[in-house]
C-alpha cells in the first residue's frame, strides 16, 4: 500500500540498515549489541557486510532510497571502509545516507572522506552538553567536541545534521537540560532527537539503580523535560514529527520515517533487523557469528516471523500514532477517542487521531486503550 508523507509516497521507499557493533568504550546505560573489545574484527566485519550486500544484490536488492549506518559507533570506520559499504549498496538517485557519529571520533578529514563516499547526513551522539551529566552516562566526549564536529561536517559539505539527546539522567536537573537545549540550538542543526533515559536491568546503570547506588530516572522530571523540549524546539522552528524527533521543514529522517510509516528495509550486519513483504527477520547477535555465517555461505538470519494481517494492522496503528501523521482508530473506539480529546491527550484531524504533547507522554497506554476499545467495541 502506498503511503503519503507530506506529498511523498512511502510505498516507494526502501531502506538499508547496516549495524556497526564496535565502540571504543561501552557506556553504562547502553543495552544495544555493541562491543568495545572487538577492534581486531573491523576489517573482517566490513568485508562480510560487503559479501552479504553482494549476495542480496544478486538476489534482486531494491535500490535504496535511504541508508543508515547505526551502532555501536559507525564513525570508528575510516573513509575507505565506509566507501566499501556504500559502494556495495545500490542506491536510488537522491538517496539519504546517514552515519551515526561520536563527537570524539570524527574530524574534518574523516567527515570529508565520508562525504566523498556518499554520506549526506550524520547523527551526532551528543546526549548532553553538561559535563557532569555526561560523566553519569559514561560518555567520553567533551561538549566542545560537539561544536567542532558540527563545524567539520559543515566544512565537509554534509548539511543535514541531527543532534541526539538523552534526558532524565540521574542528577540532571531541568536547568541542566535547558542549558543543553540552549547549546544545541546555538549549533543550528537541521534535526534534534531527544530520548528519555531508561535504566535497563542488564546494564551497569540498571544494576547501579537496582542496588541503590544511583537514583532511578524520575518519571515526572522526564515529563517536564520532554514538554520543555517540545516548547523550546517549536519556538526555534522545529516541527515535531515522532515522539522523540523534531526537524526543520523537510529535514525529517526519511530512513526512520520508513520504519514508522510501513516501508520495507533490509538488514546487514550482526543483530540487525529487517522487514520485507510481510516477513521480518533478525541476524545473529555477535560479529564473530555473523562473519562465520557469511564466510560459510550461510544466511546470517537467526530467526524470522510473518505477522498475520490483524497483528500487522495493530503494529502499524501503534507506530503511526507515534507520529504527527496520526492513525485511524477503529470506529468502535470513538468513545475512547472523544475521552482523549476532552482530556487534552489527543485531537482529531479529519478521520485521524493525533496525540498532543501530554498524550505523547503516555503513547503506549493510549495505543493499548484504542486497540482494546476497537476490538471490543467499547
115 and 200 together in one domain: yes
Output the pLDDT for position 343. 98
Helix (H, G, I), strand (E, B) or coil at 10: helix
Q: What does the pLDDT read at residue 302?
A: 98
Count of alpha carbons within 13 Å of 211, Cβ hemisphere only? 7
- Quote the pLDDT of residue 376: 63
Euclidean distance between CA atoms 342 and 340, whole angstroms: 5
In this structure, are 336 and 208 located in the same domain?
no
Mean local confidence (pLDDT), 216-227: 97
- 198 found inside a domain: yes
Residue 123 scores a pLDDT above 70: yes
CA distance 272 to 6: 29
What are the angstrom distances between the C-alpha of 341 and each of 217, 328, 347, 366, 376? 29, 14, 5, 12, 20
Other beta carbons within 10 Å of 144: 10
The reply to whether 113 and 226 lie within a common domain is: yes
Say yes or no to pLDDT of 23 above 90: yes
Same domain for 35 and 121, yes or no, is yes
Q: How many helices (H) and strands (E) does the chain have?
A: 14, 16
* 8 Å CB contact between 174 and 223: no
Q: Domain for residue 272, yes or no?
A: no
Task: Supply the pLDDT for residue 146.
Answer: 97
Is the same domain home to 232 and 331?
no
- Taking the chain, what is the end-to-end CA distance rounded to the nearest angstrom? 29
pLDDT, residue 59, reads 96
- On whether both 244 and 332 belong to a single domain, the answer is no
| Residue given cell 537540560 in the structure block | 177
In a domain, 64, yes or no: yes
CB atoms within 10 A of CB 2: 9
pLDDT confidence of residue 184? 98
Where are the alpha helices (H) located in the chain, listed in sequence order?
42-58, 79-87, 108-117, 131-137, 143-155, 174-186, 204-210, 219-235, 254-261, 287-295, 309-321, 334-342, 357-360, 363-376
pLDDT at 11: 65
Res 1 pLDDT > 90: no
Tell me the pLDDT band of 92, cut-offs 50, 70 and 90. Answer: very high
Identify the domain boundary among 234, 260, 286: 260
Residue 343, classed as helix, strand or coil, is coil
Q: Do residues 24 and 156 share a domain?
A: yes
Q: Based on the fold, state whether residues 218 and 332 are members of the same structural domain.
A: no
Q: Does residue 105 contact residue 128 with C-beta atoms inside 8 Å?
A: no
Of 216, 239, 260, which residue constitutes the final position of a domain? 260
Domain limit, last residue, from 241, 260, 279: 260
Tell me, yes or no, whether 62 lies in a domain. Answer: yes
CB-CB contact of 244 with 195 (8 Å): yes
In the numeric block, the cell 536488492 is attached to 61
Cα distance between residue 295 and residue 140, in whole Å: 35
pLDDT tens sequence across 46-72? 999 999 999 999 999 999 999 999 999
C-alpha cell at 213: 547506588
Give the pLDDT score at 3. Answer: 37
Average pLDDT of the residues in 336-349: 98
Same domain, 130 and 41: yes
Angle (nearest 5°) at CA 135 between 146 and 98? 35
Helix (H, G, I), strand (E, B) or coil at 291: helix
60: CATH: 3.20.20.70
- Given a cut of 60, whether residue 6 has pLDDT beyond it is no
Confirm whether 266 is domain-assigned.
no
Give Cβ neighbours of residue 309 (< 8 Å, ≥ 6 apart): none
Q: DSSP per residue over 119-132, as a string?
A: --EEEEEEE-S-HH
Per-residue pLDDT at 327: 98
* Across 283-297, average pLDDT: 98
Does 183 lie in the same domain as 109?
yes
- pLDDT for res 375: 78
Domain annotation covers residue 337? yes
158-178: pLDDT as tens digits: 999 999 999 999 999 999 999
Cell numbers at 246, concatenated: 523534531
Counting the structural domains of the chain, the total is 2
Taking CA atoms, 4 is separated from 8, 295, 314, 316, 318, in Å, by 5, 41, 19, 14, 17
Q: What percent of the chain has pLDDT over 90?
A: 96
Q: What's residue 8's pLDDT? A: 39
Domain contains 234: yes
Residues across the chain: 378
Domain assignment of residue 125, given as a range = 4-260
Which whole number is the average pLDDT over 231-252?
98
For residue 302, is it within any domain? no
Statement to judge: residues 64 and 159 lie in one domain:
yes
Amino acid at each position: 500500500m502506498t503511503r503519503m508523507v507530506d506529498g511523498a509516497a512511502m510505498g516507494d521507499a526502501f531502506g538499508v540498515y547496516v549495524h556497526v557493533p564496535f565502540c571504543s568504550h561501552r557506556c553504562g546505560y547502553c543495552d544495544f549489541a555493541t562491543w568495545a573489545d572487538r577492534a581486531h574484527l573491523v576489517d573482517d566485519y566490513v568485508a562480510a557486510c560487503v559479501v552479504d550486500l553482494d549476495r542480496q544484490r544478486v538476489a534482486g536488492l531494491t535500490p535504496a532510497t535511504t541508508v543508515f549506518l547505526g551502532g555501536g559507533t559507525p564513525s570508528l570506520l575510516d573513509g575507505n571502509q565506509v566507501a566499501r559499504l556504500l559502494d556495495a549498496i545500490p542506491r536510488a538517485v537522491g538517496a539519504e545516507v546517514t552515519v551515526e557519529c561520536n563527537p570524539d571520533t570524527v574530524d574534518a578529514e574523516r567527515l570529508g572522506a565520508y562525504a566523498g563516499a556518499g554520506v549526506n547526513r550524520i547523527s551526532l551522539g551528543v546526549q548532553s552538553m553538561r559535563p557532569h551529566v555526561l560523566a553519569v552516562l559514561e560518555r567520553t566526549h567533551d561538549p566542545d567536541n560537539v561544536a567542532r564536529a558540527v563545524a567539520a561536517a559543515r566544512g565537509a559539505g554534509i548539511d543535514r545534521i541531527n543532534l541526539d539527546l538523552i534526558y532524565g539522567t540521574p542528577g540532571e536537573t531541568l536547568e541542566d537540560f535547558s542549558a543543553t537545549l540552549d547549546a544545541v540550538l546555538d549549533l543550528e542543526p537541521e534535526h534534534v532527537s531527544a530520548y528519555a533515559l531508561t535504566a535497563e536491568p542488564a546494564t551497569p546503570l540498571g544494576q547501579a539503580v537496582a542496588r541503590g547506588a544511583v537514583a532511578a530516572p524520575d518519571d515526572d522530571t522526564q515529563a517536564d523535560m520532554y514538554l520543555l523540549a517540545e516548547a523550546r524546539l517549536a519556538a526555534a522552528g522545529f516541527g515535531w514529527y515522532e515522539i522523540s524527533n523534531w526537524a526543520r521543514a523537510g529535514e525529517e529522517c526519511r530512513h526512520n520515517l520508513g520504519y514508522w510509516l510501513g516501508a520495507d528495509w533490509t538488514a546487514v550486519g550482526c543483530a540487525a533487523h529487517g522487514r520485507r513483504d510481510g516477513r521480518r527477520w533478525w541476524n545473529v547477535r555477535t560479529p564473530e557469528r555473523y562473519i562465520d555465517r557469511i564466510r560459510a555461505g550461510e544466511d546470517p538470519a537467526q530467526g524470522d516471523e510473518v505477522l498475520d494481517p490483524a497483528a500487522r494492522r495493530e503494529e502499524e496503528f501503534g507506530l503511526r500514532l507515534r507520529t504527527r501523521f496520526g492513525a485511524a482508530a477503529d470506529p468502535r473506539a470513538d468513545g475512547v477517542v472523544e475521552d482523549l480529546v476532552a482530556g487534552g491527550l489527543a485531537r482529531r484531524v479529519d478521520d485521524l487521531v493525533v496525540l498532543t504533547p501530554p498524550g505523547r507522554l503516555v503513547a503506549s497506554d493510549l495505543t493499548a486503550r484504542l486497540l482494546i476499545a476497537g476490538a471490543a467495541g467499547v
